[in-house]
Amino acid sequence: MAMATNENLPPNVIKQLAKELKNLDESPPEGIQVGVNDDDFSIIYADIEGPAGTPYENGVFRMKLLLSHDFPHSPPKGYFLTRIFHPNIASNGEICVNTLKKDWNPSLGLRHVLTVVRCLLIEPFPESALNEQAGKMLLENYEEYARHARIYTGIHAKPKPKFKSGAISESTTALNVDQKSVAVGAAVPVQSPLAPCTTASKGGNSQDQPAAVGPMHETGVSGSVVAPTASTLKKDVGLAKVQADKKKIDARKKSLKRL
Protein backbone atom coordinates (compact mmCIF):
# COMPACT_ATOMS: atom_id res chain seq x y z
CA MET A 1 0.00 0.00 0.00
CA ALA A 2 1.51 3.30 -1.09
CA MET A 3 2.06 5.96 1.54
CA ALA A 4 0.30 9.28 1.14
CA THR A 5 2.68 11.71 -0.52
CA ASN A 6 1.96 14.29 2.18
CA GLU A 7 3.92 12.09 4.56
CA ASN A 8 6.99 12.70 2.42
CA LEU A 9 6.65 16.47 2.53
CA PRO A 10 8.15 18.45 5.45
CA PRO A 11 5.59 19.88 7.92
CA ASN A 12 6.56 23.47 7.11
CA VAL A 13 6.03 22.86 3.38
CA ILE A 14 2.61 21.30 4.00
CA LYS A 15 1.67 24.26 6.18
CA GLN A 16 2.80 26.76 3.54
CA LEU A 17 1.00 24.87 0.75
CA ALA A 18 -2.19 24.74 2.83
CA LYS A 19 -1.99 28.50 3.27
CA GLU A 20 -1.35 29.12 -0.44
CA LEU A 21 -4.09 26.76 -1.62
CA LYS A 22 -6.63 28.30 0.73
CA ASN A 23 -5.71 31.75 -0.62
CA LEU A 24 -5.97 30.55 -4.24
CA ASP A 25 -9.41 29.08 -3.54
CA GLU A 26 -10.74 32.19 -1.82
CA SER A 27 -9.13 34.67 -4.25
CA PRO A 28 -8.37 32.86 -7.53
CA PRO A 29 -6.20 34.49 -10.23
CA GLU A 30 -8.04 35.70 -13.32
CA GLY A 31 -9.08 32.80 -15.52
CA ILE A 32 -7.64 30.13 -13.21
CA GLN A 33 -9.38 27.68 -10.89
CA VAL A 34 -7.34 25.41 -8.64
CA GLY A 35 -8.24 21.93 -7.42
CA VAL A 36 -6.38 19.71 -4.98
CA ASN A 37 -6.55 16.31 -3.36
CA ASP A 38 -6.10 17.16 0.32
CA ASP A 39 -4.38 13.81 0.92
CA ASP A 40 -1.72 14.60 -1.65
CA PHE A 41 -0.51 18.19 -1.92
CA SER A 42 2.28 17.11 -4.29
CA ILE A 43 -0.14 17.27 -7.25
CA ILE A 44 -1.88 20.58 -7.86
CA TYR A 45 -4.51 20.73 -10.61
CA ALA A 46 -5.76 23.89 -12.31
CA ASP A 47 -8.26 24.75 -15.02
CA ILE A 48 -7.05 27.63 -17.19
CA GLU A 49 -9.48 29.62 -19.33
CA GLY A 50 -8.17 30.45 -22.78
CA PRO A 51 -7.41 34.21 -22.79
CA ALA A 52 -9.69 36.42 -24.92
CA GLY A 53 -8.20 37.46 -28.25
CA THR A 54 -6.10 34.30 -28.57
CA PRO A 55 -6.75 31.07 -30.52
CA TYR A 56 -7.40 29.47 -27.12
CA GLU A 57 -10.37 31.71 -26.33
CA ASN A 58 -13.48 29.88 -25.02
CA GLY A 59 -11.39 26.82 -24.18
CA VAL A 60 -10.74 25.40 -20.72
CA PHE A 61 -7.36 23.72 -20.32
CA ARG A 62 -6.64 21.42 -17.40
CA MET A 63 -3.05 21.26 -16.18
CA LYS A 64 -1.15 19.88 -13.21
CA LEU A 65 1.90 20.90 -11.21
CA LEU A 66 3.98 18.09 -9.71
CA LEU A 67 5.85 19.06 -6.55
CA SER A 68 8.95 17.07 -5.66
CA HIS A 69 10.00 16.17 -2.09
CA ASP A 70 12.47 19.09 -2.04
CA PHE A 71 9.94 21.73 -3.11
CA PRO A 72 10.20 24.75 -2.95
CA HIS A 73 13.97 24.46 -3.38
CA SER A 74 13.38 22.79 -6.72
CA PRO A 75 10.66 23.98 -9.12
CA PRO A 76 7.44 22.07 -9.77
CA LYS A 77 7.02 20.33 -13.12
CA GLY A 78 4.11 21.55 -15.21
CA TYR A 79 2.00 19.51 -17.63
CA PHE A 80 -1.11 20.25 -19.68
CA LEU A 81 -3.59 17.37 -19.44
CA THR A 82 -5.80 18.92 -22.13
CA ARG A 83 -4.42 18.63 -25.65
CA ILE A 84 -3.21 21.98 -26.97
CA PHE A 85 -1.42 23.24 -30.10
CA HIS A 86 1.25 25.56 -28.67
CA PRO A 87 4.96 26.05 -29.41
CA ASN A 88 6.06 25.72 -25.77
CA ILE A 89 3.93 22.70 -24.81
CA ALA A 90 5.12 19.26 -25.91
CA SER A 91 2.99 16.40 -27.17
CA ASN A 92 3.16 14.80 -23.70
CA GLY A 93 1.88 18.06 -22.20
CA GLU A 94 5.19 19.21 -20.72
CA ILE A 95 5.35 22.99 -20.26
CA CYS A 96 8.59 24.72 -21.12
CA VAL A 97 8.99 28.09 -19.45
CA ASN A 98 12.01 29.49 -17.63
CA THR A 99 10.03 30.18 -14.47
CA LEU A 100 9.86 26.39 -14.03
CA LYS A 101 13.48 25.93 -15.08
CA LYS A 102 16.54 28.14 -14.59
CA ASP A 103 14.63 31.21 -13.36
CA TRP A 104 13.01 29.35 -10.48
CA ASN A 105 13.20 30.96 -7.05
CA PRO A 106 11.97 29.25 -3.86
CA SER A 107 10.08 32.43 -2.95
CA LEU A 108 7.88 32.16 -6.05
CA GLY A 109 4.43 30.97 -5.05
CA LEU A 110 1.93 28.77 -6.87
CA ARG A 111 -0.08 31.86 -7.84
CA HIS A 112 2.89 33.28 -9.73
CA VAL A 113 3.57 29.97 -11.50
CA LEU A 114 -0.04 29.56 -12.65
CA THR A 115 -0.22 33.17 -13.84
CA VAL A 116 2.97 32.72 -15.88
CA VAL A 117 1.54 29.59 -17.53
CA ARG A 118 -1.64 31.43 -18.53
CA CYS A 119 0.46 34.32 -19.89
CA LEU A 120 2.24 31.77 -22.10
CA LEU A 121 -1.08 31.25 -23.92
CA ILE A 122 -1.11 34.98 -24.68
CA GLU A 123 2.52 35.26 -25.72
CA PRO A 124 4.14 32.03 -26.99
CA PHE A 125 7.88 31.84 -27.63
CA PRO A 126 8.40 30.00 -30.93
CA GLU A 127 12.19 30.47 -30.81
CA SER A 128 12.52 27.69 -28.22
CA ALA A 129 9.68 25.42 -29.22
CA LEU A 130 8.97 21.97 -27.83
CA ASN A 131 6.35 21.62 -30.55
CA GLU A 132 8.47 22.45 -33.60
CA GLN A 133 5.54 22.41 -35.99
CA ALA A 134 3.64 25.00 -33.95
CA GLY A 135 6.76 27.14 -33.49
CA LYS A 136 7.62 27.13 -37.20
CA MET A 137 4.02 27.84 -38.18
CA LEU A 138 3.74 30.74 -35.73
CA LEU A 139 6.88 32.36 -37.16
CA GLU A 140 5.99 31.82 -40.82
CA ASN A 141 2.19 31.99 -41.01
CA TYR A 142 0.33 33.18 -37.93
CA GLU A 143 -3.13 32.68 -39.46
CA GLU A 144 -2.38 29.03 -40.16
CA TYR A 145 -1.01 28.61 -36.65
CA ALA A 146 -4.10 30.25 -35.16
CA ARG A 147 -6.37 28.02 -37.27
CA HIS A 148 -4.65 24.88 -35.96
CA ALA A 149 -4.78 26.15 -32.39
CA ARG A 150 -8.50 26.95 -32.70
CA ILE A 151 -9.20 23.45 -34.06
CA TYR A 152 -7.43 21.87 -31.08
CA THR A 153 -9.25 24.20 -28.70
CA GLY A 154 -12.65 23.39 -30.20
CA ILE A 155 -12.07 19.63 -30.08
CA HIS A 156 -10.20 19.15 -26.81
CA ALA A 157 -10.61 22.20 -24.57
CA LYS A 158 -14.26 21.84 -23.72
CA PRO A 159 -15.34 22.99 -20.22
CA LYS A 160 -14.52 20.46 -17.52
CA PRO A 161 -16.63 19.48 -14.52
CA LYS A 162 -15.84 22.18 -12.00
CA PHE A 163 -13.72 21.48 -8.94
CA LYS A 164 -15.73 21.26 -5.73
CA SER A 165 -16.02 24.77 -4.33
CA GLY A 166 -14.78 25.18 -0.80
CA ALA A 167 -13.05 21.79 -0.60
CA ILE A 168 -9.63 23.38 -0.44
CA SER A 169 -10.52 25.84 2.29
CA GLU A 170 -12.15 23.23 4.50
CA SER A 171 -9.48 20.58 4.07
CA THR A 172 -6.59 22.97 4.63
CA THR A 173 -8.26 24.43 7.70
CA ALA A 174 -8.64 20.95 9.13
CA LEU A 175 -5.01 20.22 8.34
CA ASN A 176 -3.83 23.10 10.50
CA VAL A 177 -5.90 22.19 13.59
CA ASP A 178 -3.66 21.70 16.65
CA GLN A 179 -0.58 21.91 14.44
CA LYS A 180 2.31 23.76 16.02
CA SER A 181 3.34 26.89 14.18
CA VAL A 182 6.40 26.51 12.01
CA ALA A 183 8.26 29.59 10.93
CA VAL A 184 7.96 29.74 7.16
CA GLY A 185 8.90 32.61 4.90
CA ALA A 186 5.91 33.98 3.07
CA ALA A 187 5.89 33.22 -0.62
CA VAL A 188 6.30 36.73 -1.95
CA PRO A 189 6.00 36.71 -5.72
CA VAL A 190 9.24 37.85 -7.34
CA GLN A 191 8.73 39.40 -10.73
CA SER A 192 10.77 37.71 -13.42
CA PRO A 193 10.41 38.18 -17.17
CA LEU A 194 8.18 35.65 -18.83
CA ALA A 195 10.43 33.58 -21.00
CA PRO A 196 10.47 30.08 -22.51
CA CYS A 197 13.00 27.55 -21.33
CA THR A 198 16.26 27.80 -23.23
CA THR A 199 16.69 24.09 -23.84
CA ALA A 200 14.07 22.05 -25.63
CA SER A 201 13.56 18.65 -24.05
CA LYS A 202 13.40 15.46 -26.05
CA GLY A 203 10.17 13.97 -27.21
CA GLY A 204 8.51 17.09 -28.59
CA ASN A 205 5.66 17.01 -31.06
CA SER A 206 6.38 15.38 -34.39
CA GLN A 207 6.41 17.71 -37.36
CA ASP A 208 3.70 15.80 -39.19
CA GLN A 209 1.19 15.74 -36.37
CA PRO A 210 -2.37 16.09 -37.72
CA ALA A 211 -4.60 18.91 -36.55
CA ALA A 212 -7.17 16.59 -35.01
CA VAL A 213 -5.70 13.92 -32.75
CA GLY A 214 -7.03 11.91 -29.86
CA PRO A 215 -7.34 13.74 -26.56
CA MET A 216 -4.77 13.28 -23.85
CA HIS A 217 -5.95 10.97 -21.11
CA GLU A 218 -7.21 12.95 -18.19
CA THR A 219 -7.57 9.85 -16.07
CA GLY A 220 -8.43 10.57 -12.49
CA VAL A 221 -8.85 14.26 -13.14
CA SER A 222 -12.48 15.11 -13.65
CA GLY A 223 -13.85 12.47 -11.33
CA SER A 224 -11.28 12.24 -8.57
CA VAL A 225 -9.00 15.26 -8.73
CA VAL A 226 -10.72 16.77 -5.76
CA ALA A 227 -11.08 13.81 -3.47
CA PRO A 228 -11.63 15.41 -0.09
CA THR A 229 -12.18 13.34 3.01
CA ALA A 230 -15.67 12.93 4.44
CA SER A 231 -15.04 15.79 6.87
CA THR A 232 -14.57 18.20 4.00
CA LEU A 233 -17.78 17.25 2.25
CA LYS A 234 -20.19 18.37 4.97
CA LYS A 235 -19.98 21.72 6.63
CA ASP A 236 -22.21 20.77 9.55
CA VAL A 237 -19.74 18.27 10.94
CA GLY A 238 -20.83 16.72 14.24
CA LEU A 239 -18.63 16.43 17.31
CA ALA A 240 -17.79 12.82 16.56
CA LYS A 241 -16.38 13.73 13.15
CA VAL A 242 -14.36 16.57 14.61
CA GLN A 243 -12.79 14.13 17.03
CA ALA A 244 -12.13 11.70 14.21
CA ASP A 245 -10.44 14.47 12.24
CA LYS A 246 -8.17 15.27 15.18
CA LYS A 247 -7.17 11.61 15.42
CA LYS A 248 -6.38 11.61 11.72
CA ILE A 249 -4.32 14.78 12.05
CA ASP A 250 -2.49 13.38 15.09
CA ALA A 251 -1.64 10.30 13.03
CA ARG A 252 -0.36 12.52 10.23
CA LYS A 253 1.75 14.49 12.73
CA LYS A 254 3.29 11.27 14.00
CA SER A 255 4.11 10.16 10.46
CA LEU A 256 5.69 13.56 9.77
CA LYS A 257 7.88 13.27 12.90
CA ARG A 258 9.31 10.05 11.50
CA LEU A 259 10.86 11.97 8.61
Q: How many residues does the chain have?
A: 259
Is residue 82 within 8 A of residue 159, CB to CB? The reply is: no
How far apart, in whole angstroms, are the C-alpha atoms of residue 22 and residue 31? Answer: 17
SS3 track for 55-84: CCCCCEEEEEEECCCCCCCCCCEEEECCCC
SS3 call for 176: coil
15/185 Cα distance (integer angstroms): 11
CA distance 68 to 75: 8
* Rounded-to-integer distance, Cα 183 and Cα 215, Å: 44
Question: Which amino acids are annotated catalytic?
Answer: 96
At residue 27, the 3 state secondary structure works out as: coil
Contact 158, 60 (CB under 8 A): yes
Query: Are the C-beta atoms of 40 and 23 separated by less than 8 Å?
Result: no
| Apex 24 CA angle, 185 and 67, nearest 5 | 65
